[in-house]
Amino acid sequence: MKFEITFLRSKVARRIFILFISCALVPIVFLAILSFSHVTKQLNEQSQSRLHQASKTMGQNILERLLILEIEMKMITSNLKADSYGSLPTPSEGFNTHIKQEIKGLKLITDAGKHIDFFGSIQNTPELTPGQKQHILSGKIVVSIESRSDSWARIFMSKKLNPEYPGYEILWAEIDPLFLWYMQYEEPLPFMTELCILDQSNNVLFSSLPLPLSLPEEAVLKMSHASSGQFGWSHGEEEYLASFRTVGLQGSYSSPNWIAVLSEPKAYVLEPMAYFKKIFILVILASLWVVLLLSINQIRRSLVPLERLKEGTQRIARRDFNSRVTVTSGDEFEEVAASFNTMAAQLGKQFKTLTTMAEIDRLILSSLDYVKIVDTILTYMREIFPCECVSVTIVDSNDLNKAQIYVGESKYKNGKHRETIKLKPEELQKLSDNPHTLLIELDEALPSYLAPLASRGIKSFLVLPIFLKQKFSGIITLGYLEPPGLTQEDLAQARQLSDQTAVAFSNARLIDELNQLSWGTLTALARTIDAKSPWTAGHSERVTKIALQIGQVIGLSSEDLDSLRRGGLLHDIGKIGIPPEILDKPGKLTAEERKLMQKHVRLGARILEPIAAFAEAIPIVLQHHERFDGKGYPEGLAGEAINFNARIFAVADYFEAITSKRPYRKALSRQSGIKFIKRRAGREFDPKVVQAFLEAMTQEERE
């Protein structure tokens, strides 16, 4: 089951939640702590008691095995036979097989130093202390030890062969440690238990752990003062808990007491406690989870709807009008959520309309081209007014009966259709009588400007006339398959958009008129310059035409072509300052006259400097007489250092000059002029420009 907890961001929800949790969890936590403390204590005591009992049992087992060996020794001595008094006994034949499994060797040593080995080989029996000798003479058993630092200790059991016999014959048996420490069995020790046997000097008699051992000083001190106890120690990387028990040998076997130490890994000893802790934590977490689920389930039923409504208002504030609030509480909150969703949908629609209209306003008002304005209307209009088709009709300013209609395809297609139509006087009159909006159905007499839409299956039309300065200029038409349910707000927005389009058309028309005025002014200025000499009439316009042909072959942008056109019309503006007698001189110019004539490029650049709009034309005016090989004027520039448009114009200007009649020479034919230009490629002219010039001339001839 999935629970949402986002409602806990509410202060009221947090207050109720904390109160609920406190009332439910405080008793659980208190009882949990009490139970944990008690159970932990019990488990710890049980672990220590178990280890203590195991060490006690091990001590008793060792004494039992010594007792078994003692009985065996007595049986052996009783079975040994002597041939006669004063003679040495001889081993009886057929020792029990199990005896050989308990002791490693058996031998008899006399007071004369004679050794009789019954089986096995016992080397270097330990020296007996006076007390042990007295103990043996009294007919008792002595246990003695030979300690070794690198291995287990050797353990011996000795007994006088016959207390009544006057000699000092002692029967020695070397005990097998595996039997004594219970190691002959498959499971000699409890699981995970290690055994260590020490004497009273803390010498290691046996250890199931690898030698050497390093017992802590406090453990050694405790074992020297107590018969049993527990301590902790470490061997290698493992930590152990140990319990020791004194094995009393002093009275029975005249040997220092042993200490049996049983050790278990601390992790194993504390494993029940660790397991309990793990289970206990899981139980507490489960209890906490149940309480949380119950509390969340109860609180969310009342506060989740409120939280969702709050989040919905925040999303609307972030302009996310597409999100909806889902509440299924079956109460008043569900009704409020439905009203909220309706409001969000209306706000989203209004905001989208305002945003789209603002974008349309920005695009159409920033554009100064009729085609771009029309494309914007056809592209964005359907986003504001869901319709099947949109058309824009632009009336010819010189002939109101003639118009261009642009039809945007349906929302399922891309592109636009354009065609020329004729407007009837009665249609113009009806549009003038309804300057705001006009609704037309298919069953009425359709105007000619609606025919392209009707051919696409459109049945209802919303017509928005466009007027500029009280003069009819165009139409925006929205087409619908079914009669649209448009509100007054929709009609007002459509009218507002058409008014903005009218402003954009007005701006575009004004800019178009200004451009025409600008180009007309430049053309008039060029003709004025050329009219100064009857030989150069029309020169600037002809040169400009050739330069534009070259630029188009090269692939210059429209902006570069405009710059080329301006520079071409103004390239000889500096000749205003050249005397007519030099311009029209029929003979060759003198060096002084030629120098004066060459000044017209600098003079032209200086004339244009104050006009920022002609900044891109100045390099053409200044450098169109430079040569590609650097022998031109005024700067003697060469190659790429010459402005590219100036290099284009140099070819066009030279070609037009040599193919036109001058007072000092005849005009060359067109073909001769082309050959002349071609021969000078790479010297006077840029080879790339010459190649483009040749292509332009070929194209012109073909046309």
Closest CA to 465 of 433, 490, 442: 433
pLDDT of 514 reads 60
pLDDT of 159 reads 87
Can you give the pTM of this predicted structure?
Answer: 0.40
pLDDT of 531 reads 55
DSSP notation for 54-81: HHHHHHHHHHHHHHHHHHHHHHHHHH-E
% the chain with pLDDT above 70 = 75
pLDDT of 44 reads 77
89: which residues sit within 8 A by CB, 6+ positions away?
80, 81, 82, 108, 161, 162, 169
Residues 173, 158 contacting (CB under 8 angstroms): yes
pLDDT along the chain (703 residues), means of 10: 55 70 72 75 79 85 86 80 47 58 83 80 84 85 83 86 72 84 66 85 84 84 87 86 88 87 83 75 78 71 71 74 73 76 71 64 60 70 73 74 74 62 78 78 75 78 77 78 74 71 66 59 60 55 83 85 77 70 69 78 79 78 85 87 87 80 66 84 87 86 76
Cα angle, residue 190 at apex, residues 184 and 196 outer, rounded to 5°: 70
Count of positions (residues) in the chain: 703
| Domains of the chain, earliest start first | 183-270 (3.30.450), 353-512 (3.30.450.40), 531-702 (1.10.3210.10)
CB atoms inside a 10 Å sphere around CB 639:
12
For 198, phi then psi, to 5°, come to -120, 155
Q: Which two tokens stand for residue 89?
A: 């006994």
**Residues in a beta bridge with 158:** 142, 172
% the chain with pLDDT above 90 = 0
Look-up of token digits 């689920």: 293
Residues 59, 247 contacting (CB under 8 angstroms): yes
DSSP notation for 377-442: HHHHHHHHS--SEEEEEEEETTEEEEEEEEEEPPTTS--EEEEEEE--HHHHHHHHH-SS-EEEET
pLDDT of 409 reads 65
Which amino acid, residue 299? I
pLDDT of 354 reads 64
581: which residues sit within 8 A by CB, 6+ positions away?
none
